[in-house]
Amino acid sequence: MRRQTITQLAVGLAVTVGVITITAAADLSELGKDMVLIPTGEFTMGSNEHGDETKHQVVLDPYWIDRYEASNARYKQFMKATSHPAPAYWDDPRLNKQNQPVVGVSWTDANAFCKWEGKRLPTEAEWERAAKGPEGDNHYPWGHKLDPKKANYGQNVGRTMPVDSYPEGVSGFGVYNMAGNVFEWVEDWYDPSYYKQSLALNPKGADQGYNYANQGPVKVLRGGSWLAPETSLHTSHRFWNQPDNNSYGVGLGFRCAKSAATVSAEAIQSGRDAFIQALVAMGAEKNAEALAAIEKALADDPNNKEYLATRDLLKKSMKRKK
């Protein structure tokens, strides 16, 4: 009898964990369709190409970045929901297909869109790490040699291409079109000497932008565009423009990012211990005890999808039994 009870408990736990894992995986899968998780890591930022690209080591906390450039379809939803004005070239037949990247946007436009999506613009360092891939030093997103078949640049096509084009040219992290197609706004102010004094951990850019040609401080642009020459394609290339200026608008786009929650190793272990206690209590049908344990796990790791799914499962079960 005791063996049968233990067996039933084990089976019950396995089923419960399976349901929770599937639920959590589904949530992460949904996010992963549109964004890529870039893990904590160190990389070499900069190159030997230009004077404003001084090489230096940077370490970044984990973050998410859009797999694709913001499309006209997504921007149309933003305009409809917020009454935000249409960008330049919105009616240009070369550039306004639903799956092409939105162009003609200022930094201010891009920033507003990302906030509307519950995201933000990536920092310059985040953008470059996503482009350089896990190896941390790729000169182009796909490697170290220029390949015209892997990017849209130099008016070779004569228009922007769909945001999911050039799959053979993705970065090592699986991010599309980080070379060519459209220049991409990032969060940082542009300062040509910033790399010589940049922080090594999670740099946020200069405190103020370079006053280019006395036209006002400028923000950073990354990635080259369908109009720009091959010299703009390498992963460290820096360009700039005033935040409210879209004078290069026919090739100006963006993608968004968001921070990933970080939890200490101690909190992860403590949360895991409490989670196991919750599963054992659930197997014994001690739901009140299980709920207390899962709340403890969430106190240690608030955004853990598995724990959140377990709590929802418990609350539904307790409600049915009332």
CB 220 within 8 Å of CB 238: yes
pLDDT digit string, tens, across residues 242-282: 999 887 789 999 999 999 976 777 888 999 999 999 999 99
Q: Give the model's pLDDT for residue 262.
A: 67
CATH number of this structure's domain 41-259: 3.90.1580.10
Which residues lie across from 63 on neighbouring strands?
38, 259
Apex 144 CA angle, 205 and 152, nearest 5? 80
Cα 46 to Cα 15, 27, 74, 154, 237: the distances in Å are 49, 35, 31, 23, 8
Q: What is the DSSP string of 180-237?
A: BSSEEEEEEEP-TTGGGT--SBS---BSS--BGGGS-B-EEEES--SSS-GGG-STT-
Could you tell me the pLDDT band of residue 235, with boundaries at 50, 70 and 90?
Answer: very high
Q: Give the model's pLDDT for residue 16.
A: 41
What's the predicted TM-score (pTM) here?
0.76
Phi/psi zone of residue 229: left (φ > 0), alpha (ψ -120 to 50 degrees), beta?
beta
Strands 219-222 and 56-60: unpaired
Could you tell me the pLDDT band of residue 301, with boundaries at 50, 70 and 90?
Answer: confident
pLDDT digit string, tens, across residues 26-66: 444 455 679 999 999 999 999 999 999 999 999 999 999 99
Cα dihedral 183→188→190→195 (10° resolution): -110
Q: Give the model's pLDDT for residue 53.
A: 97
pLDDT digit string, tens, across residues 92-138: 999 999 999 999 999 999 999 999 999 999 999 999 999 999 999 99
User: Domain limits of the chain?
Assistant: 2-34+264-321, 41-259
Least confident of 16-20, 109-113, 207-211: 16-20
How many CB atoms sit inside 10 A of residue 64's CB?
A: 21
